[in-house]
Structure 1
Amino acid sequence: MPQLHVVVVTIGSAGDLFPFMRVALALREAGHRVSMLGPSQHAPFVEPTGLAFHGLPADEAVLDHPDLWHPTRGLAVVWNATRPAMARVPAWVAALPPGERVVLLVHPLALPEADLCRAQRPGLKVAAAYLAPSNLPTVHDPLLLGPWPVPRWVPQGARRWLWRKLGDALINPVALPDVNAARAAQGLAPVADLVDFLMKVPDLSVTLFPEWFAPTQPDWPQPLQRTGFPLYDPSPQVELAPEVARFLAAGAPPVVFTPGTGNRQARYYFRCALDACARRGLRAILLTPHREQLPAQLPTPVLWQDYVPLRVLLPHMAALVHHGGIGTTAEALRAGTPQLVVPLAHDQFDNAARVQALGVGTSLRAARLNSQRLGKRLNDVVGKESVAKACARAAAMTVPADLAPLCRRLISIK
């Protein structure tokens, strides 16, 4: 039987890249040929591993788009930003040797192109890897539609209607013109509803989060392969920088604030963080590669760092205040660090709700953020015994993901 060639396709920030890299490395360790396709700016992360990496175009100007972090309009921004890169995938796959056994392991937003690849290359299999629970639509509880929780008493029929209305208003008008134009060029039938179509494309669906974080729902696509969080640290040997170690030794455990590495619109977020910490006498570490978002002069009990691996930083923190990205959420769970999630868009609202349900923290919607509310929420998590106990339980469950079953499953996709 020919060697399996797994082509891993991802988009987005480093938080999206790292779980796919962890899976790609496990597949290589299992003896498969692996190629990664992703945003070209991530090459410095991938190339040291020796994985074959093929950069796709990425316009970083999207990080300044005013709607990028909007709860409802953000999806359109992300979709439009990813299309030039995804349009390159079918031609790249078509150029592979005809005799290769190929499996595409892709980010959900690459599924339309994965379906085109399969139409061009009979026998190709498609696996979709879902980073967060909200990537998989469901009518079952707990259910959020963007920032809006759906009450448990709402019947399933009404929930299906809500999903259709959401798709017709916010998703289909944005995505279907591109999708159907590409399909028409290959003589394929048009798609009527994007979400319904995407759920039917994969030959295998994979969750990159554990059952205890989000139990399998009856209406999730089948066949389904569950895994744990495939956490990946690009610098596993790195320890705390001397500057950070000195800051930690100089006082009480600080609170660390990060809006995500891709957020260049967090000036107000950091202003609220500084004010809330000053009012409550808390020390703080501000994590952002975009120094211009911070005041020129920071108060003495505050340290700025462009990047510190959360693996080494979080065990020393009183709490983590963050945007609710799934990678950051998982790192905090692993470290047993209390969380205050300030969600803005995308999967962040659902992740925040799961943090609250686990008892490991609380949340405050970014639309309601001010220094007073932020300070009150910090009081709810910093130094609270019940939160600390819940964090310890979550840390005990956040074990390294066993990816061997996934590697075996990809070989036998039907």
Structure 2
Amino acid sequence: MIFTSLASYGHLYPLLPLAVAARDAGHEVVFATAADFHPTLDKAGLEPAAAGISIQQAFREAFAGDPRARDEVSEEELNPIIGRAFGRTMPERFMRDLAPLIDQRRPDLVVYELANPGGLFAAHAAGVPAMCHGFGRVTVGGEAGAVIREPVAAFGAELGIAGDADFAWGRPFVDMCPPSVQDPEFLAGARRVPVRPVGWSEPGDLPPGVAGRDRGRPLVYLTLGTTPMSQAHLLSSAVQGLATLEADVLVATGPSVDVAALGEVPPNVRLAAWVPQSELLPHVDLVVHHGGSGTTMGAFAAGVPQLVLPQGADQFSNAEAVTAVGAGNQLLGDEVTTEAVRDHALRLLTDTAVRDVVRKLADEAAAMPSPADVAATLPQYA
């Protein structure tokens, strides 16, 4: 089997539990992505193969010769660039790189990540069955996703792939989103293969004192994910608000924030560049985050309330899903102030109705088939 995803934490990590389970079930598994993430695949015990380019490289190519920073480009100019990068540049490159790998290894099945349709396109060209693997909630026909969905659908049509791109062209879809928070239209129209939202983190120890701490004092986890964007100002506002609570605050600063930019923090706040998030979430009482799918799904599975501060992409629809089901709140744009973060966090730490909702979500996630269960069924899709 060949698994393939974009070279990004939020796109690659969700596929790792199933890829590892498939390997453990005795299948020969190759995971194809850009070389930047091959060390991650080595740590997971998976055979890496080189394919595609990173999202950052795709945008560097798109902006070649343009002296402006990305945040200086208007939305009207940026949207077509995003569409080309995700809808043409990266799929074409993955399709080209996967063709010789498929020819050499002759897989029975290609499992491609939702944002990497180049995996499907290469499998289609080679006459190999393919199935899609999601990374969170799917929004059918959403306005925000149209900028990518339309060029991807057009590319698929050029290749003679029949069906609706919104539903993975009728291919089986490994869906890790609990049904109660999934898009109802997607639930009704997709060939879903449910899988429990099991997180994956690179091996590492929890911060000292987390595992055996006194649960009488709340632990708040703050993260804005791994996307390379300037987040220090947002983190600072959130830290200042959370620090005033009678709680301990653990902040994962991520790869794009200079810890020094946050200045001196109060004694109840601890900063870490990285934490094993999937292992951490069951120990926390509130997650304050950007709305990335990995953190959103992980909090659902762990039964943790969420305060979402969405910044872009699917983060807004994730935040809306969290609030719609009663699992937390969201703050948008200028709403993100020190006072608002404090007030919303305090309410979520004490609201028993929210606690009831997140417990039900955790039970729902736990009842979904495990990656090992799904791995046992993969031959039927070949």
* TM-score, with structure 2 as normaliser: 0.79
Greater alpha carbon shift after TM alignment, 301-310 vs 329-338: 329-338
SS in structure 1 of the partner of residue 307 of structure 2: strand
Q: Distance in 2 between matches of 1:385 and 1:16?
A: 33
1:318 to 285, 304, 311: 285
**Counterpart selection for 1:271 from 236, 247, 259:** 236
**Counterparts of 1:126 and 1:344, CA distance in 2:** 32
1:113-151 residue CA offsets vs partner (Å, 9 max, x unmatched): 5225423x23x11211122222x515xxxxx644xxxxx
Q: Could you tell me whether the CA contact under 8 Å between 2:242 and 2:341 is conserved in 1?
A: no
Q: Aligned match of 2:116 in 104, 110, 121? A: 110
Q: Does the 8 A contact of 2:82 with 2:148 survive in 1?
A: no
Match of 1:389 among 353, 356, 364: 356
Deviations 1:342-378 (Å, cap 9, x if unpaired)? 1122222222222223322111124532223323322
* Residue of 136, 140, 143 corresponding to 1:137: 140
**Structure 2 counterpart of 1:125:** 129
1:66 to 71, 89, 92: 71
Matches within 5 A, 1:332-351: 332-351=299-318
> In structure 2, what is the Cα distance between the partners aligned to 1:365 and 1:334?
24
Q: Distance in 1 between matches of 2:38 and 2:47?
A: 10
* 1:13 corresponds to which of 5, 8, 32: 8
2:358 and 2:227 mapped to 1: Cα distance?
27
Greater mean alpha carbon deviation, residues 263-272 or residues 207-216 = 207-216
Partner residue of 2:347? 380
Separation in 2, partners of 1:71, 1:366: 19
Task: Kindly state the Cα deviation for residue 59 of structure 1 after the two structures are TM-superposed.
Answer: 5.5
> Identity of paired residues, percent?
20
Aligned match of 1:42 = 37
* 1:317-352 deviation line (CA, Å, top 9, x unaligned): 331100111211222223332210111222222222
Max Rg structure: 1
> What CA distance in whole angstroms lies between the structure 1 residues aligned with 2:84 and 2:135?
16
Task: Tell me the secondary structure at the aligned position of residue 303 of structure 1.
Answer: strand
Aligned with 2:50: secondary structure?
Answer: strand
Gaps of 5+ in 1: 1-5, 139-143, 147-165
What CA RMSD, in Å, does the superposition of the two structures yield over aligned residues? 3.9
Q: Is residue 2:375 matched to residue 1:411?
A: no
> After superposition, where does 1:5-404 map in structure 2 within 5 Å?
6-56=1-51, 57-58=53-54, 60=56, 65-66=70-71, 76-77=81-82, 80=85, 85-95=90-100, 96-97=102-103, 100-112=106-118, 114-119=120-125, 121-122=126-127, 124-134=128-138, 136-137=139-140, 145-146=143-144, 167=146, 170-171=147-148, 179=155, 183=158, 188=159, 196-197=164-165, 199=167, 201-214=169-182, 217=185, 221-235=189-203, 238-242=204-208, 245=210, 252-280=217-245, 283-289=248-254, 290-292=256-258, 294-366=261-333, 368-399=335-366, 401-404=369-372
* TM-score normalised over the length of structure 1: 0.74
Q: Which runs of 5+ in 2 are unaligned?
A: 61-68
The whole-number CA distance in structure 1 between the counterparts of 2:231 and 2:9 is: 18
Task: Verify the 8 A CA contact 1:16 1:131 in the aligned structure 2.
Answer: yes
